[in-house]
């Protein structure tokens, strides 16, 4: 099979949602229909001992939530599907934001009972920034929830995107009968109960006046006809181009835990979802069909298998063909690196690969060479647009509880920060370590992993800071003066960039006004060529 055909086969997407909307359950069922697993796991159940394929970390199994992105690949109807299951909890939103830079489209899961929730809005804002194509799956139709029309109106209003239903539910809750697929004109009847077997094909019904509809649905047939008349009258036909440009979101209804509506979603997804697309870099746009290889690291995970203490960098291939044992150029360090054991994924399970193509996400065993956002090429000095860190809002100082394990604590913190679990700031020549996060739960994860994976015990002492922001200036004397006046609230990030800790919104506003020649940045994605950067000791 030729190179261009391999690219056309790829579909790389993420599943995103608010916590408890059913995202990880939907992931499991997509894997089930794709043949990647034989029995779907339970996200959290006292009765079911097997766990989900995507929630593979022990703390995820204990809490019943996803705290890290999982990468899973499988083949379906002649296509190669790369699926990334992301954390839903807001405390781990940065991992999801980074993942969204590595995909070509998104499936957004909405709970039919709760509708659009705050985290759903934040995730959608990131998709809108990149015009990422989005398909919406309205889940849990086997429960009593809000009306489909109300949900569609809310999605359009709160998520700032037009919608086009491609399936329509027939009632909901206890009287839920199934869905009518407007895309392929088929009726799918619902069978209550958690079904882990592959679903049956739908009944082809091109004409809604067909008496077969009355035979199967009884009194609900007339309601369905009225609903479809309303849908066709209110919503414009789906224009594929507008979907690909992120302007219109196709909508499906179903029940992931019952495998209902999942196959129809998957079949439509592979028909309309985009192939690997162009990626903007600092000097030019990189096209997937280019001969020369390029890719970027969007995630690092240490101790994926604690028995082997491995460290993996997750790389999205953007152009060219990746080949095992071939030398590639690491743009940031200028080194040439060779990878003897590149891997594809099924969550924590890895499979050695010989080659990979644009759209694929592969794992590269890493000895400490990579940082999030790094670029690999065949020699060209390009940098893909950065994967930024955002200004954290909760800050705590790391306190070592076991001085005999200081080295383990140092190594553990360094590796977890490399993963992007949180952000590290250094004071007093690196002797005082401050961790910044966007949520309290991240500290629990860090503390748990330091103990379980590195044998290091620590506690966190809260600090009364409101926000951290990066500072830079063309005039070195200005940053030096601010450092003298605000020494207790100045730190360095791990790359040597100056950071200012504001104690309150008023303090931040006043400091910015009093230092007009200093730039205050709320994302790490800013130009530093003219900024004054100071040396800072490594933490290890």
Q: What domains are there in the chain, each with its CATH number?
A: 3-272 (3.40.50.300), 279-377 (3.40.50.300), 394-521 (3.30.70.3280)
Provide the pLDDT confidence category of residue 215 given band limits of 50, 70 and 90: confident
pLDDT surpassing 50 at residue 44: no
Q: Kindly state the tokens that stand for 188.
A: 């799918």
Contact 88, 21 (CB under 8 A): yes
| Kind of pairing between the strands at 519-521 and 467-472 | antiparallel
pLDDT at 54: 42
pLDDT digits (tens, 9 = 90+) for 267-317: 999 999 999 999 989 889 999 999 999 999 988 887 655 555 567 889 999
Instruction: Record the pTM.
Output: 0.79
Rounded to an integer, the average pLDDT of 104-133 is 89
Query: What is the phi/psi pair of residue 326, to 5°?
Result: -95, 145
The answer to whether the beta carbons of residues 285 and 388 sit under 8 Å apart is: no
530-538 average pLDDT score: 33
Average of pLDDT values for 47-57? 41
CB–CB of 448/473 below 8 Å?
no
**Exposed, middle or buried, 503 (CB in 10 Å: 0-12/13-18/19+)?**
middle
Of residues 483 and 70, the one with the higher pLDDT is 483
Rounded Cα distance, 111 and 140, in Å: 6
Looking at the predicted structure, is the pLDDT value of residue 217 above 70? Answer: yes
DSSP code string of 391-422: PP-EEEEEEES-GGGHHHHHHHHHHHHHHTSS
Beta carbons of 337 and 137 less than 8 angstroms apart: no
**Per-residue 3-state assignment (H helix, E strand, C coil) for 267-289:** HHHHHHCCCCCCEEECCCEECCC
pLDDT of 326 over the 90 cut: yes
The reported pLDDT for the residue numbered 305 is: 56
- Per-residue CA distances from 2 to 79, 271, 273, 513 (Å): 14, 21, 21, 59
Predicted local distance difference test score (pLDDT) of residue 198 = 47
Q: By percentage, how much of the chain surpasses pLDDT 90?
A: 51
Residues 219-232 have pLDDT tens digits of 888 998 999 999 99
327-330 and 519-521 strand pairing: unpaired
Neighbours of 311 (CB within 10 A): 21
Strand bridging mode 294-302 / 311-319: antiparallel
Question: What's the pLDDT tens digit per position in 341-399?
Answer: 998 876 446 789 999 999 999 999 988 888 888 999 999 999 887 566 677 889 999 99
pLDDT at residue 23, as a whole number: 87
Q: Is the pLDDT of residue 65 over 70?
A: no
Residue 486 has pLDDT above 60, yes or no: yes
**Percentage of the chain modeled with pLDDT above 70:** 83
CA-angle at 366, arms to 320 and 290, nearest 5°:
5
Beta strands 248-253 and 162-165, pairing class: parallel
Q: In the prediction, which pLDDT does 208 show? A: 78
- The least confident of 12-26, 82-96, 272-286, 486-500 is 82-96
Residues 462, 426 contacting (CB under 8 angstroms): no
Specify the pLDDT at position 93: 59
């Amino acid at each position: 099979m030729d190179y261009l055909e391999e690219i056309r086969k790829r579909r790389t997407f993420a599943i995103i949602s608010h916590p408890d909307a059913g995202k990880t359950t939907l992931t499991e069922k997509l894997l089930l229909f794709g043949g990647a697993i034989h029995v779907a796991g339970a996200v959290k159940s006292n009765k079911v001992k097997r766990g989900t394929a995507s929630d593979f970390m022990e703390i995820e199994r204990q809490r019943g939530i996803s705290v890290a992105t999982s990468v899973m690949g499988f083949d379906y109807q002649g296509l190669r599907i790369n699926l990334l299951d992301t954390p839903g909890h807001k405390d781990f939103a940065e991992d999801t934001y980074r993942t969204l830079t590595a995909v070509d489209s998104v499936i957004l899961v909405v709970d039919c009972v709760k509708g659009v929730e705050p985290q759903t809005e934040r995730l959608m804002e990131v998709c809108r920034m990149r015009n990422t194509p989005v398909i919406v799956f309205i889940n849990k139709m086997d429960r009593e929830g809000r009306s489909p029309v109300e949900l569609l109106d809310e999605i359009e209003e709160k998520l700032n995107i037009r919608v086009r239903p491609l399936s329509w539910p027939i009632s909901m809750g206890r009287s839920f009968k199934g869905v009518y697929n407007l895309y392929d004109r088929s009726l799918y009847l619902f069978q209550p109960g958690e079904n882990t077997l592959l679903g049956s094909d739908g009944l082809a019904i091109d004409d809604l006046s067909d008496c077969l509809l009355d035979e199967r649905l009884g009194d609900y047939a007339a309601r369905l006809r009225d609903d479809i008349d309303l849908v066709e009258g209110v919503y414009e036909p789906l224009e594929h181009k507008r979907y690909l440009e992120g302007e219109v979101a196709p909508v499906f209804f179903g029940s992931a835990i019952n495998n209902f509506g999942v196959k129809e979603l998957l079949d439509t997804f592979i028909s309309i979802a985009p192939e690997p697309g162009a990626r903007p870099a600092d000097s030019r746009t990189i096209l997937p069909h280019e001969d020369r290889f390029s890719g970027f690291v969007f995630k690092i995970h240490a101790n994926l298998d604690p028995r082997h203490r491995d460290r993996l960098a997750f790389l999205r291939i953007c152009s060219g063909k990746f080949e095992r044992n071939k030398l590639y150029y690491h743009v940031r360090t200028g080194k040439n690196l060779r990878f003897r054991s590149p891997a594809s994924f099924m969550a924590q399970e890895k499979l050695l690969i010989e080659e990979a193509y644009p759209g694929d996400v592969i794992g590269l065993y890493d000895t400490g060479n990579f940082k999030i956002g790094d670029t690999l090429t065949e020699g060209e000095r390009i940098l893909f647009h950065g994967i930024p860190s955002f200004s954290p809002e909760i800050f705590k100082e790391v306190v070592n509880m076991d001085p005999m394990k200081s080295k383990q604590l140092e190594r553990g913190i360094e590796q977890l920060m490399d993963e992007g679990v949180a952000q590290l700031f250094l004071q007093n020549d690196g002797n005082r370590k401050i961790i910044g996060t966007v949520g309290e739960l991240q500290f629990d994860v860090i503390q748990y992993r330091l103990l379980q994976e590195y044998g290091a015990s620590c506690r966190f002492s809260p600090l009364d800071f409101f926000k951290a922001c990066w500072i830079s200036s063309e005039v070195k004397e200005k940053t030096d003066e601010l450092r003298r006046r605000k020494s207790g609230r100045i730190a360095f990030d791990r790359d040597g960039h100056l950071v200012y800790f504001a104690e309150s919104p008023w303090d931040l506003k006043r400091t910015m006004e009093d230092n007009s020649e200093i730039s205050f940045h709320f994302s790490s994605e800013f130009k530093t060529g003219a900024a004054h950067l100071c040396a800072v000791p490594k933490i290890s």
